[in-house]
Chain A
Amino acid sequence: MPSKAQLLWMYEAMEKARYYEDTMATVYMEGKQPKFDIGAGTVPGEMHLAAGQEPCAAGVCVHLRPEDTVTAPHRPHHVAIAKGVDLNRMTAEIFGKKSGLSGGRGGHMHLFDPAVNFACSGIIAEGTGPAVGAALAAKLKGSDAISVSYIGEGAANQGATHEALNLAGLWKLPVVFVIEDNAWGISVPKSKATAIADTSQRAAGYGMPGHHVADNDTLALFEVAGEAVARARRGEGPSLIEVETYRYYGHFQGDPELYRPKGEVEALKAKDPIERLRKAMLEGGEITAEEADAARDRARQEVDEAYAFARAADYPAPEEALTHVFA
């Protein structure tokens, strides 16, 4: 069972991530109305929002330390937030500003914060190998740091995933693979993309334990992830966790979602994981509504400040495009 501090930490991280994404959904439409143009506005380019997937981030990252490495895919904000990525500089990066994490070179799909060992990539499953490599480095250096590789359920069918799982299992590396199963690979449902229903069964083929977390359950994931992280830290090798989670928004903002059954999102929202966690916390009796509200308000204030920071920041000079190609 999580401690009171852990509960409040997860709740605050999830509220922060949700508010961050809902704010982004609004900001993203600035300058894109009445005619939607993906290249226009305050935040141009593709935008993949993770509202609904907060348990995957908070339920795992609560067990991590800054020295642990996390790799995330193209839908990275909730994980970055839970890993402790600098929110001001992350938001400035997404706004394409000079004070962003990468001076505006990377943007939303390419966030790097070496201070907390976070990186993400826009190419499906391509974070798996680097997570294995970071775990190998930790092992070679005699550290007990671990790696967590986040992928979607679609990425579980990509070659890189299978190769990385085998390497991690073969070399008994301290990696936790987390599959965020939001049921959709853009428009393709999991049932039409994956040969088995429970992808965590694939763990057996790579010599590691597999865990399945049903229905976006933060507290169940907390337990399973705690076990997997502790196992990795003890040097006993990798684990694979698949979490059934929810995607509230489209694949990208502007996705017409014609493929999505009517009412699906509403049904998911009716069992919202943040509401469920809050209810469980309060029913547990250790946490008061006032404490939860304070955590939520703190989270939202931090997000508001990050957006204000990003708005006020300057754009880079065009010529800065030519720097940092090489170290």
Chain B
Amino acid sequence: MSSNRQLTVSRAMAEAIALEMRTDPSVFVMGEDIGTYGGIFGATAGLLDEFGEERVRDTPISETGFIGAGVGAAMAGMRPIVELMFVDFFGVCMDSIYNLAAKNTYFSGGNCKVPMVIMTATGGGYSDAGQHSQTLHATFAHLPGMKVVAPSNAYDAKGLMAAAIRDDSPVVFMFHKGLQGLAWMASPEEAATAVPEEAYTLPFGEARVVRAGKDVTLVTLSMMVHRAMDAARALEKDGIDAEVIDLRSLVPLDRETILQSVAKTGRLVVVDEDYRSYGLTAEVIASVVEKDPGLLKAPPQRLAVPDVPIPYSRPMEQFVLPNAETIAAATRITLGKAG
């Protein structure tokens, strides 16, 4: 029975944290509303009851202070997990993240380490506007010194969270609100998966081929994996066989799996819920072209937010976010089957 147990992403994250806390007394959690509330997006549900207020600490609304404190605690031998409630809030505390957490290992010549996890909620689609709906994948992935993961389902979330906690480098764990399986926000059914009860880790930098195909490669991660799968199912009806790759982590980036797939299909569509320019879509395409521009039989396509802040109003927000229809349309263009 246990092997088929289904968990939501939020339950999987909380379980991964609990398992690590049981075996490693240096692991503790802090953030806003992560105690009694269990995390606004459920990632710490149940932890306060099991581990108490010393190790599961509600903080004031003071991100610079408590993320900076996470850096200090990590350097002093602890393994803190800090939650930045919405990734959009990084603006008030980025110095602690990119100048301290990300650089202290390097600036100490490897003599100091910062084994902390910064977990943060990403994503839109529910009309919360651009201070609460961004993914900002590239913002974090661009800056050296942080590993960055963004799972699409519960199984991956549990394994990646355990790996993040055990990693000796800072890891930014970006979870999409719309995948958490919350009672108050719609979530794709496929985000909840069978999750083993025991602890396990998944390696960073290993993409997963979610759907094998021969005609075109769709590369994406997080929520857009589900949109790309919807597109692939629609394309299948037209006789188009799409391969869908879930990157799972941005840093490190599994370029090898992308290259192998494109070598097979010759066609590439990259989908990201982040802003379009200077982002993941460009990085993936550049990675292919740098290796061998001859791999591509047609110009690659990319779908992302068209360089505007995420608007509030539903018709405008839905317009700027990639969806199954726009992914399918872009895929047809790469195949010369548009229109």
User: Chain A: residues with CB nearer than 8 A to chain B?
Assistant: 36-40, 44-46, 93, 96-97, 100, 103-110, 121-126, 154-155, 157-160, 185-188, 192-194, 254, 258-259, 315-322, 325
Interface contact A315-B128, CB-CB below 8 Å = no
Identify which of A37, A125, A325 contacts B184 (C-beta below 8 A). A37
B183: CB under 8 A from chain A? yes
Identify which of B240-248, B264-272, B283-291, B311-319 touches chain A. B311-319
Report chain A residues within 8 Å CB of B168.
none
Q: Give Cα A121–Cα B185 distance, bound, in whole angstroms.
A: 23
Between A and B, 15 residue pairs with Cβ closer than 8 Å are A39-B185, A44-B314, A104-B311, A105-B316, A107-B129, A109-B131, A110-B312, A159-B62, A185-B61, A186-B37, A187-B58, A194-B60, A316-B315, A318-B316, A322-B308
Q: Give Cα A283–Cα B186 distance, bound, in whole angstroms.
A: 52
- Interface pairs A-B: 6 shortest CB-CB: A107-B312, A39-B126, A104-B313, A96-B313, A318-B319, A44-B127
Main secondary structure of the interface of B (DSSP, over half): loop
Q: A188-B36, A188-B59, A193-B59 are in contact. List 13 more A-B contacts (CB 8 A).
A: A38-B126, A44-B314, A96-B127, A96-B313, A105-B309, A105-B313, A107-B312, A157-B62, A185-B61, A187-B33, A194-B60, A319-B319, A321-B311
Q: In which size bucket is the chain B interface?
A: 35 or more
Interface contact A159-B92, CB-CB below 8 Å = yes
Looking across the interface, which residue of chain A has its beta carbon closest to that of B186? A37
User: Chain B: residues with CB nearer than 8 A to chain A?
Assistant: 32-33, 35-37, 40, 58-65, 88-89, 91-92, 125-129, 131-132, 183-186, 306-309, 311-320
Interface contact A193-B128, CB-CB below 8 Å = no
Supposing A254-B184, A319-B319 touch, asked if A123 and B128 sit within 8 A by C-beta, the answer is: no
Interface contact B60-A157, CB-CB below 8 Å = yes
Looking across the interface, which residue of chain A has its beta carbon closest to that of B95? A159
Supposing A193-B61, A315-B313, A318-B319 touch, asked if A259 and B37 sit within 8 A by C-beta, the answer is: yes
Q: Give Cα A123–Cα B61 distance, bound, in whole angstroms.
A: 11
Supposing A159-B65, A259-B36, A320-B316 touch, asked if A36 and B311 sit within 8 A by C-beta, the answer is: no
Identify which of B33, B61, B127, B316 contacts A125 (C-beta below 8 A). B61
Q: Give Cα A45–Cα B177 distance, bound, in whole angstroms.
A: 13
Q: Give Cα A36–Cα B153 distance, bound, in whole angstroms.
A: 22
A275–chain B nearest beta-carbon distance, Å: 31
Report chain A residues within 8 Å CB of B62.
157-159
Interface contact B313-A316, CB-CB below 8 Å = yes
B219–chain A nearest beta-carbon distance, Å: 25
Report chain A residues within 8 Å CB of B128.
38, 45-46, 107, 109
Looking across the interface, which residue of chain A has its beta carbon closest to that of B307? A325
Q: Give Cα A317–Cα B131 distance, bound, in whole angstroms.
A: 22
Report chain B residues within 8 Å CB of A107.
127-129, 312-313
Interface contact A97-B127, CB-CB below 8 Å = no
Report chain A residues within 8 Å CB of B186.
37, 39-40
Q: Give Cα A122–Cα B60 distance, bound, in whole angstroms.
A: 17
Report chain A residues within 8 Å CB of B308.
321-322, 325
Identify which of A97, A123, A193, A259 contacts B313 (C-beta below 8 A). A97
B189–chain A nearest beta-carbon distance, Å: 14
Q: Give Cα A157–Cα B92 distance, bound, in whole angstroms.
A: 12
Report chain B residues within 8 Å CB of A187.
33, 35-37, 58
Report chain A residues within 8 Å CB of B314.
44, 96, 315
